[in-house]
Amino acid sequence: MKTLVLATANPDKVKELQDVLGGAYDLRPRPTDLADTFEDGDTLEYNATKKAREVSDFTGLPALADDSGLFVDFLGGAPGVYSARYAGENVTYDDNVTKMLQELDGVEQTQRGAQFRTTICYLEPGKEPVLVTGEMQGYISTERTGENGFGYDPIFVPVEGDGRSYAEMSHTEKNAMSHRTKAVQALLGVLG
């Protein structure tokens, strides 16, 4: 079984990636003695590649990194690549959700369309990076619902679902359809 080092330090993303990848790889966590990657790119692809390269260079092993964003139509695609920092630096998930709900206060449901996108970079030492993207269409609800998930999950309602937010779904239900799952499936299809 091939060893793969995850580049994310976010425990919520680690759990999702472990659940989706199942037993396909021997997954290792990001080394604790490796400094966090400074995500200074303006695209998901750039940030995912930078994270994967830093981890692969540090460990000498294949690395998998992702960068995700919520792209809201009414906001011209914002927060996009800046989703984790939407309400500022060192903020909580709840801070970002609160800001999003304030920005969309009074906006009609028909104008609240949004897409969650994940770009995954798989990088083996000495090889070109493999990039894939997964996307889920949906909309931003007018209030938080559900207790599961993380990030914007309490206000993102996927169109492929049954009207519940990601946070109202079990992990299994969300992982069966999420943007991150679609990206992982695309990657596994490329890698064989």
Which CATH number do you get for residue 132?
3.90.950.10
Check: CB of residue 124 under 8 Å from CB of residue 130: no
Annotated active-site residue 67? The verdict is yes
Residue 52's H or E segment, with its range, is: helix 44-59
Lowest-pLDDT range of 20-24, 34-38, 89-93, 188-192: 20-24
Candidates 26, 67, 94, 105; catalytic one: 67
Segments forming the whole domain that contains residue 29: 3-191
Per-residue pLDDT at 81 = 96
How crowded is residue 49: how many other Cβ atoms within 10 Å of its Cβ? 20
* CA 139 – CA 155 distance, rounded (Å): 8
Per-residue pLDDT at 16 = 80
Per-residue pLDDT at 21 = 80
* 8 confidence band (pLDDT: 50, 70, 90): confident
Query: Would the CA dihedral through 160, 158, 70, 9 be positive or negative?
Result: negative
pLDDT digit string (tens) for 122-178? 999 999 999 999 999 999 999 999 999 899 999 999 999 999 999 999 989 998 999
pLDDT at position 17 over 90: no
Q: In the chain, how many domains are there? A: 1
Which pTM does this prediction carry? 0.90
Q: What is the largest CA-CA distance in the chain?
A: 52
